[in-house]
Structure 1
């Protein structure tokens, strides 16, 4: 009986608990993030805002409807001690293991001790900010079911920590490491490596502009229609 109660409680928390208030600047979400040259990285010289002065970003609903502008565009705080600069736009070109993410494209922003990953409809924002805790409080993005016109996708929470040049993503900020990202010398220059909890390893090359087909995220998940 206790197990059943825990399962029900967990399912409720994942799919029916209240979403955090959307604090992302509406202009950022409305803007066109595909119009930017991501090989021209912002200068982190401390001349503008710090990470803690910018509101927390969240995914609107289960996914954004188009690739948004950068969350940390106004931030120029130098990277925190121990952080490696992995900022930019990356495309997966090679992988191994279970379901490697070939073709995946993601934008990584960093400023101070803050890291924002934008990809596939979701915005995961981790680190100090002006409106919420340091952990991401967001969604996985895949819609499991719909009720009427409302989509239901699982909630997620994580934070990141630099560990000898490797960016570890920990569930809830204190749980197991589920994702690792780090730089690697590839055959054609520096690559970003993405290790996932299922054992898959994905190698990503830097690109300057968002591919046309990535402007609108693909709808993901089973999308079971309950009512």
Structure 2
């Protein structure tokens, strides 16, 4: 009797194991192989981008940091996306309806402490670490020729650009309570522009802005 009971238990155990094995390997069940984990590149692996000769034209270039997987550094405002100006003023007064700044768009990419800002035909690619070495070393938006050297930093949740040797001049970008980006440029007649995020900027979106002659 005991041997017969043990034999029955053995058959039941075999049946249960067979059922579990069938469930794991069947098309309707889970796979026994883990799905592959894909990871992007670090900012250190992505070359610095520069403005093309003559600036980029009617469309934005392809994204620079599209496959970067590093998280944003602490204290960085999330400015990622495609932005369009919805209002602007100079020296405290609203700009005229035909001011070209009202057609301005820019795309910002961020990864780690790196930030790539494309606008006005230029590409500014920097590490926001407050050093000259890792700042923007590119060309001016006014002629796409004159060299510029800019220090980038994140300060109290604000993205700040300062020309090398001119620490008193600060171009800033910050988010307001409505999620808009407020952009200030003291070198452009005290420009204060408010921009709305209109998309993620993926691909090569149109660039309607033309610098006033």
Does TM, scored on the shorter chain, surpass 0.5?
A: yes
Q: Name the CA distance, whole Å, in 2 between partners of 1:125 and 1:173.
A: 19
Aligned to 1:148: none
Q: Name the CA distance, whole Å, in 1 between partners of 2:165 and 2:134.
A: 8
Residue ranges of structure 2 left out of the alignment (5+ in a row):
1-37
Residue by residue over 1:27-86, the C-alpha shift from the partner in whole angstroms, topping out at 9 and shown as x without a partner, is xxxxxxxxxxxxxxxxxxx93211111101100123023421111112110011211111
The structure 2 residue matched to 1:88, chosen from 81, 90, 103, is 81
Aligned to 2:134: 134
Computing the radius of gyration from Cα coordinates, the structure with the larger value is 2
Is the 2:105–2:207 Cα contact (8 Å) retained in structure 1?
no
Equivalent pairs counted in the alignment come to 161
Is the 1:97–1:199 Cα contact (8 Å) retained in structure 2?
yes
Aligned to 1:70: 63
2:103 partner SS: coil
Is the 1:142–1:221 Cα contact (8 Å) retained in structure 2?
no
Aligned to 1:123: 123
Q: Name the CA distance, whole Å, in 1 between partners of 2:191 and 2:212.
A: 20
Aligned to 2:106: 106
Aligned to 2:184: 195
Residue by residue over 1:184-219, the C-alpha shift from the partner in whole angstroms, topping out at 9 and shown as x without a partner, is 023xxx100001114221000110277x9944763x
- How far the C-alpha of 1:141 sits from its partner, in A, is 2.6
Residue ranges of structure 1 left out of the alignment (5+ in a row):
1-45, 144-151, 223-227
2:44 partner SS: helix
Q: Does 1:181 align with 2:170?
A: no
Q: Name the CA distance, whole Å, in 1 between partners of 2:72 and 2:166.
A: 22
Q: Does 1:53 align with 2:14?
A: no
Q: Name the CA distance, whole Å, in 1 between partners of 2:166 and 2:90.
A: 26
TM-score, normalising length: structure 2: 0.66
Q: CA RMSD in A?
A: 2.9
